[in-house]
Chains A and B, each alone.
Chain A
């Protein structure tokens, strides 16, 4: 269903701009716990870069990001986020109460890294889910 538009400009511009979008998205995800942005916004930007590849290169982009990868990424993100949330429940805290996640480690450090990894996993989830929605729309739901 996805057809490639034979446009040199689209091809060259997408090749140049996709790495820049992804670098900025990584910045937004990894600085999300003390700057504007976070996992959701960075994940949306990563998904936008992949969708730009899909539009500009059509089926050639399946070599770089296969159609099945979207749902796997989203599933991995959701599962890892749930495990992270329940780690603290096992050791006596509430859901996502990072201070209890690993016994014997300082709570301040744990909260810092807990929020960081929560952002990263949310980023994976949003990235995979949005690309999966785009693939489902363009293939009529068969992907």
Chain B
């Protein structure tokens, strides 16, 4: 596969990961994590692993985000320092 697509996808992935750690609003962090999972699924599909990509898209981008959102209803939106 073309290495340029891998390179830029991985670069954006690292940016998303750092952003999800740094942002103080937990709701935004969940959104960024969902986007991270979606990009991860794209990367897996591009690397020739459609099985793993399907799992990541269904589980990482849908179910995990919903579970984290439901959890946020109990623990609150703001991170405590």
**A→B interface (CB under 8 Å):** 28, 36-38, 40-41, 44-45, 47-48, 51, 55, 130, 133-134, 137-138, 140
Partner of A130, one of B51, B63, B70: B63
Interface size class of B (residues with CB under 8 A): 10 to 19
The answer to whether A137 touches B58, judged by C-beta atoms less than 8 angstroms apart, is no
Residues in A neighbouring B59, C-beta threshold 8 A: 44
The answer to whether A138 touches B70, judged by C-beta atoms less than 8 angstroms apart, is yes
The dominant DSSP class at the A interface is helix
The dominant DSSP class at the B interface is helix
Residues in A neighbouring B62, C-beta threshold 8 A: 44, 48
Residues in A neighbouring B55, C-beta threshold 8 A: 40-41, 44
The answer to whether A48 touches B51, judged by C-beta atoms less than 8 angstroms apart, is no
Q: Could you say which of B53, B55, B74 has the most chain A C-beta atoms within 10 Å of its C-beta?
A: B55
A130 CA to B70 CA in the complex, in Å?
13
Of all chain B residues, the one with the shortest Cβ separation from A126 is B59
A-B contact pairs, 12 of them (CB 8 A): A28-B54, A37-B54, A41-B54, A41-B55, A44-B55, A44-B62, A45-B58, A47-B63, A48-B62, A48-B63, A134-B66, A137-B70
**B→A interface (CB under 8 Å):** 50-51, 53-55, 58-59, 62-63, 66-67, 70-71, 74
A38 CA to B70 CA in the complex, in Å?
27
The smallest beta-carbon distance between B43 and chain A, in angstroms, is 15
The answer to whether B51 touches A37, judged by C-beta atoms less than 8 angstroms apart, is yes
